[in-house]
A and B are shown apart, each in its own frame.
Chain A
Amino acid sequence: MTADLTLLLPLTVLWPMLLAGLALLPGWGPRMVMFLPLGPLPALAAALFAPRDTPVALPGVLLDGGLELTATGAIFLGGAAVLWFWAGVYAADYLRRDSRPAAFALFWNLVLAGNLGVVIAADIVSFYVFFAQVSLLAYPLVIHDRKPASMRAGTVYLVLAVLGEVAILVGLMLASHGAGGAIGIEAVRAALALPSTHPAALGLLIAGFGIKAGLMPLHVWLPVAHPAAPVPASAVLSGAIVKAGIFGMVALLPLGTPAAVAGNLLTILGFSGLFLAALLAVGQAGAKSVLAYSTVSQMGLVMGVLGVALAAGSAPATVLPAVALFALHHGLAKGALFLGVGLAPLCGRGWRWGLMAVLAVLGLSLVGMPLLAGALVKSAMKDPAGALGATLIGLSALTTALAMARYLAVLPTAKPRRRPPLLMALPFLALAGAALWLPWLLYADVTGKSPLAADLASKLAEAWPLGLAVLLIAGAVAVGLKPPTLPEGDALGPVQRRAAALTAAARAALRAGSRSLHRSRPKPQIVIGEDLDRIEDIFREGAAAAILVLAITGAVVAASLI
């Protein structure tokens, strides 16, 4: 039975790819949108039933790669599967009137396969392959509607994704070399801790994964790309795909061995992202942008914690479950929030209140409202985050709350008397439910602590930033204060303009240089030509021949006499 169940792992990635393949068939493509929800089913099964820590070798594939499901991985896998499933259901309905359903189905499934594959890869090569797949093939999802803004966003996304890929590849190479050429994930992770491994390896990996996970200041692509995609795609981008980066760190950061520089750096960047991104979120005009920044913020939290753990050398077991749980919650909740954005225009009057209520609960959960799942996962994070980290996490409730409030405030309005279609509402509710419920379910299993064991009172006490936030929001609303409108992708615009100017300058310089290079090599005038003709005329004279006879005779005689 076990043997059979391990086969779920290859199936996890192959099945979506098969679906992708079907999308290529003429005639089938548009219809494959209907089957989007089918993609993650094997993954769900695997997450539930596949044996943990049992590698499945795939001889011949890549560099003799393999797949393996770790306990942490299972949470990521399960969470991703749930999110993808419901987003798929949502998409099946959402995209019914889309003009490019086949392309969407194709890339949806491919990205799905990559996303799932990242989680279950047993070796870095497979990991990298899946990672590239999830990164780059998400590009078509980002630009799916082909609007100019989407295209711009896609370009930014792609550039940073490629940069990230390269950083990861080089980091992996360095690490693998440190491991003596081994490519098993465990071996590589161990090697990263070794002093003999090139120090750049860790940095590059962090940078690479950081790009994917929206690590400040590498996050610039995220707030432009996530909102650009169709709603279900945004949901998986923010909910699941971003987690690929997190999972990369989870899988490869050499926790357990103190790595001060990298750890501290990650900590600083992560926590600064936690706050800055949330504040930037407040300045956004679009609901999806707000959510995207919120994702950056939340991921900053995760990475900050990972940084602390890395710097401190905490054992993986003390960190990873919490991270996994947090990621699970965030993924599902963020997914639901994104779906909510899509639902909002469809919810007339009464429906809207219901929607707002659910969204508010989800928001509060993200903020860390006691008794909600979010608080649970945050509390789990506080342990590995250390004292300062814990404090910061606590404080972040304030900014997160502001961001969530902003989200609710800018939620698109609905036309009256619209009622949401069931196939779109159901996924939303399901995800919301899962987000709120699953952490409770898994908390004990993962952390080994009872979810209720924590002191309720102390929790409430720690919720003071939330209270402050509520006050602030209320005040702002009362005074009519509006947050400044910030552009999506904050630093992106100026950087792009600067880069464009630089490129132009470089081009001009190159052109000038090459022109001067050409000019410095003038075509040789054929002056010698006439001289050669003259010489030749001389040789043609009999007199010259006679003299040459004498000369050569003399030369031979003289040379022989030497």
Chain B
Amino acid sequence: MDLPLPVLLSTGHLYAVTGAALVGLGLYAFITLRHPLRQLLAVNVVGAGIFLILGGLGRGPDATDPFPQALVITGIVVAVALTAFGAAMIVRQAQTRAAAKPAADDNENPAP
């Protein structure tokens, strides 16, 4: 397959634009989805999109820039740390809400 596209769109740009699309997709999901777990998922997609932009635009003709790569790795680790915390909070919130129904709440005010 030899499309004329590569002339217009380098590999780096392709991935970067994909990243941009992911960001948009994730944001749309973040806005329209209600459940926090799904929002967390959406955030992860946005994050992935951002990393892809970083990587794509660091894609030189011969090599990929190590600098953005390192940033992405750092970013991924931070993202997973936050996702873990977020997931834990979501679960704990559900637990306390469930506990609040029959018994007295021990950890928070009933959510508005």
Report the bound CA distance from A542 to B27 in whole Å: 11
Which of A49-57, A296-304, A521-529, A543-551 makes up part of the contact surface? A543-551
Most buried by B among A542, A546, A550: A546
| B30 interface residue per 8 A CB criterion | yes
Q: Which of B70-112 contact A (CB under 8 A)?
A: 112
| B5 interface residue per 8 A CB criterion | no
| B10 interface residue per 8 A CB criterion | no
Report the bound CA distance from A543 to B38 in whole Å: 13
A residues less than 8 Å from B30 (CB atoms): 542-543, 546
Kindly state the interface size class of chain A when it binds its partner.
Answer: under 10
Closest residue of chain A to B24 (Cβ to Cβ) is A550
A residues less than 8 Å from B32 (CB atoms): 543
Closest residue of chain B to A547 (Cβ to Cβ) is B31
B residues less than 8 Å from A543 (CB atoms): 30-32
| B39 interface residue per 8 A CB criterion | yes
Report the bound CA distance from A542 to B35 in whole Å: 11
- Check if B27 sits within 8 Å of A550, measured CB to CB: yes
Report the bound CA distance from A546 to B45 in whole Å: 14
Report the bound CA distance from A454 to B32 in whole Å: 125
Contact partner of B39 (CB less than 8 A), chosen from A537, A542, A547, A550, is A542
Report the bound CA distance from A221 to B27 in whole Å: 93
Report the bound CA distance from A537 to B111 in whole Å: 12
Closest residue of chain A to B30 (Cβ to Cβ) is A546
1/0 per residue, CB under 8 A from A, across B17-58: the answer is: 000000000010011100000010000000000000000000
Report the bound CA distance from A542 to B112 in whole Å: 14
B residues less than 8 Å from A537 (CB atoms): 112
B residues less than 8 Å from A542 (CB atoms): 30, 39
Report the bound CA distance from A322 to B32 in whole Å: 111
Report the bound CA distance from A537 to B112 in whole Å: 10
Report the bound CA distance from A546 to B30 in whole Å: 8
B residues less than 8 Å from A550 (CB atoms): 27
A537 to chain B, nearest CB (A): 8
B65 to chain A, nearest CB (A): 25
A residues less than 8 Å from B31 (CB atoms): 543, 546-547
A551 to chain B, nearest CB (A): 12
Closest residue of chain A to B28 (Cβ to Cβ) is A546
A residues less than 8 Å from B27 (CB atoms): 546, 550
A148 to chain B, nearest CB (A): 73
Closest residue of chain B to A540 (Cβ to Cβ) is B112
Q: Which of A255-310 contact B (CB under 8 A)?
A: none
Report the bound CA distance from A543 to B30 in whole Å: 6
Report the bound CA distance from A550 to B27 in whole Å: 9
Q: Which of A512-562 contact B (CB under 8 A)?
A: 537, 542-543, 546-547, 550
Report the bound CA distance from A543 to B31 in whole Å: 4
Report the bound CA distance from A251 to B24 in whole Å: 101
B residues less than 8 Å from A547 (CB atoms): 31
Report the bound CA distance from A78 to B104 in whole Å: 102
Report the bound CA distance from A542 to B36 in whole Å: 10
Closest residue of chain A to B29 (Cβ to Cβ) is A546
B83 to chain A, nearest CB (A): 15
B23 to chain A, nearest CB (A): 11
Report the bound CA distance from A93 to B94 in whole Å: 104
A residues less than 8 Å from B39 (CB atoms): 542
B111 to chain A, nearest CB (A): 11
A223 to chain B, nearest CB (A): 83
B109 to chain A, nearest CB (A): 14
A539 to chain B, nearest CB (A): 13
A residues less than 8 Å from B112 (CB atoms): 537
Report the bound CA distance from A92 to B78 in whole Å: 108
Report the bound CA distance from A537 to B27 in whole Å: 20
Report the bound CA distance from A218 to B112 in whole Å: 80
A200 to chain B, nearest CB (A): 75
B32 to chain A, nearest CB (A): 7
Report the bound CA distance from A546 to B32 in whole Å: 10
1/0 per residue, CB under 8 A from B, across A468-503: the answer is: 000000000000000000000000000000000000
B51 to chain A, nearest CB (A): 18
A448 to chain B, nearest CB (A): 108
B44 to chain A, nearest CB (A): 14
Report the bound CA distance from A546 to B31 in whole Å: 7
Report the bound CA distance from A543 to B33 in whole Å: 8
1/0 per residue, CB under 8 A from B, across A371-389: the answer is: 0000000000000000000
Report the bound CA distance from A547 to B39 in whole Å: 14
Q: Which of A37-91 contact B (CB under 8 A)?
A: none
A213 to chain B, nearest CB (A): 85
B residues less than 8 Å from A546 (CB atoms): 27, 30-31
Report the bound CA distance from A148 to B92 in whole Å: 88
Listed in ascending order, the chain B residues whose CB lies under 8 Å from chain A are 27, 30-32, 39, 112
Closest 3 CB pairs of A and B: A543-B31, A546-B31, A546-B30
| Chain A to chain B contacts (Cβ below 8 Å), 8 pairs | A542-B30, A542-B39, A543-B30, A543-B31, A543-B32, A546-B27, A546-B30, A550-B27
Known: A537-B112, A547-B31. 9 other contacts (CB 8 A): A542-B30, A542-B39, A543-B30, A543-B31, A543-B32, A546-B27, A546-B30, A546-B31, A550-B27
